[in-house]
């Protein structure tokens, strides 16, 4: 199932705690995403979609 997984690490300390929690909330509803601390593992074919979700979350949090 997870033959080819991608790993994404969000590392921006000034905003990381708030944004990481929001990203976790958003991605935790997806069954194909594994979350461990600030590491997100997901099927490689979902990379662009996951990056879009994370970018939208970051942009939303920065706007607040």
Among candidates 23, 60, 55, which has minimal Cα distance to 33? 23
Q: Kindly give the parts of the chain with pLDDT less than 50.
A: 1-8
The C-alpha angle with vertex 8 and arms to 62 and 36, in degrees rounded to 5, equals 95
Residue 36, beta-bridge partner list: 39
Indicate the burial class of 57 (C-beta count within 10 angstroms; 0-12, 13-18, 19 or more): buried
Ranges of each domain in the chain: 5-63
pLDDT at 6: 44
Residue with tokens 């942009």: 59
- Quote the pTM value: 0.63
Rg of the chain taking only CA atoms, in angstroms:
12
pLDDT at 11: 54
pLDDT at 9: 52
């Amino acid at each position: 199932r997870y033959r080819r997984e991608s790993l994404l690490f969000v590392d921006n300390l000034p905003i990381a705690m708030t944004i990481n929690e929001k990203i976790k909330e958003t991605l935790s509803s997806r069954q194909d995403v594994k979350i461990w601390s600030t590491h997100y593992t997901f099927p490689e074919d979902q990379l662009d979609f996951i990056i879009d979700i994370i970018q939208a979350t970051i942009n939303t949090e920065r706007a607040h």
